[in-house]
Amino acid sequence: MTHFQKRLEQYAALAIEVGVNVQPGQQLCIVSPIGAAPLVREAVKHAYKIGAKYVYVDWSDDEVTRTRVELSSDDGLSYFPEWHAKGRVEMAESGAAFLFISAENPDLLKGIDAGRISRSSKAQQTAMQPFRRFMLSNQVAWSIVACPNKPWADKVFPDLPEAERVDALWNAIFAATRVDDPTPIDTWRRHAEALDAKAMWLNERRYKELRYRAPGTDLTIGLTDGHLWTSAGARNAAGSVFIPNMPTEEVFTSPHRERVNGTVSSSKPLSYNGKLIDGFSFTFKDGRIVDYKADVAYDALKQLVETDDGSHYLGEVALVPHRSPISDTNLIFYNTLFDENAACHLAIGFGFPFCIEGGLAMDKEELAQRGINQSLTHIDFMIGRADLDIDGITADGTAEPIFRAGNWAIG
C-alpha cells in the first residue's frame, strides 16, 4: 500500500467514523462529484466494514452542471425534480446519515450570466427546503469533506508545476484535517472537546452583543435572548454525535436578525455559484443589508443578496482564530469549507434552530419572532484577519475582550 493510499483510507475513516459517525444498521447517502470516486469508494468500504445497512451514492458531474446552466431553457432552469427532493426526505425519515463531498471548481460557471445561475440555484434551494429542515434541526447526522480536482488545485497552486498541484492540494487537505497525526480519530475527538470548552465559556458569559473592529470593519452584532454557542460536534435525533464540517475550527451561534449595524469587509474571496467574489463589503442597518460593494463579480454578489428577503440578513456569526492548522498553511483555498475555518466569518441567510434555547421545538414563525433569520440560502463569508479585535458586551454595557489581533483573548 502506498503512503497516499494509506492516508486516503484514514481520511475516509475519519469522514465515516467521526464526520457522520455511521452506526451499525444505519443507511448512508453520499453526495459526490464523479471526480471524487476514489475517496467515495474508500468511504463506502469503511461504512460497510463498520456495519452500515446500505450506502447510496448520488453522483454529479461538473461538465453536466455547466452545460445545463449554459444551455437549458429559462423554464428548464427553474425546474428541479420533485422525486429527487422527496428521495432525500425519505432517506432522512428513515434515519440515514448524509456525507457531502465538496470538490469545487471555483470558476466552473465563469462567463455565464448571473441571472441564469441564480434561477437554477434558487430552484434547487426551494425544492430542497423540506430536506434541509432535517439538517437544520440536527435530526440527521451529516458532514462535509473535500476532495481535490485539477481546476481547484490549479487555482490554489498556480506557481507549482502543473503535475504537482493536485498532490499539493491533497497534502494541504490531509494536514488541515489532521489525517497525518498518528491517531487522527482520537486527535479529532480531543480537538472537538477543546472547541466545546470555548462554546461553554461563551454560553456562561451571556453577551448581549459583539463588536468587531478592523480596517474596513466597524460592526456591532446583537445576539438573541437565550442564544446558544455551539462548536464542532452536534447530536442527531438518535443521540449520535457527528461533526458537520471537516475541517472545523469554529465556535458559532445565530445572531438576532434585526440587531446588526455597521460595515464589514471581506478578508478572503468567496466562491459562490461557480464564480469568485472578491474585495467585497456589506453595510447593515437594523439587521438589513442596505449597501454592498465588490471589486470582483459584483453581479454574483447582487444575486446572492437578492435571493430572497432573508438573504438581506445574517444567520450565523462564527469565531475562528487566525492561527490554526488551516490558516498556518498561508493558502487561500477558494473553498468555503476551508477558508471559513481559517478566519472568523459570518453567514448571509438562514439561522440555526439549535442556536437558541428551545429552538428545536419551535416552528418557523416562533423562530422568526425570537430573531432567528429565515431564508432559502446560507452562505458563509470570511472577515477574520490578523488585526481583528472582537469585544463581548455584557448586559450592563461592559466590554470584554474575546479576540485580540485575530486570536482568542480567553483561555
DSSP label at 236? -
Cis ω before 247 (30° cut-off from 0): yes
Spell out the domains of the chain, with CATH numbers in brackets: 3-176 (3.40.1830.10), 201-234+247-408 (no CATH)
Residue range 389-401, pLDDT digits in tens:
999 999 999 999 9
In terms of DSSP H, where are the helices of 217-321?
Answer: 298-305
- Band of residue 233 on the pLDDT scale cut at 50, 70, 90: confident
CA distance 263 to 67: 38
Confidence (pTM): 0.87
Highest-scoring range by mean pLDDT, 193-197, 220-224, 271-275: 220-224
Mean pLDDT computed over every residue of the chain:
95
Residue range 107-123, pLDDT digits in tens:
899 899 989 999 999 99
CA distance 361 to 137: 9
In terms of DSSP H, where are the helices of 177-326?
Answer: 184-205, 298-305
Closest C-alpha to 378, from 252, 290, 265, 264: 252
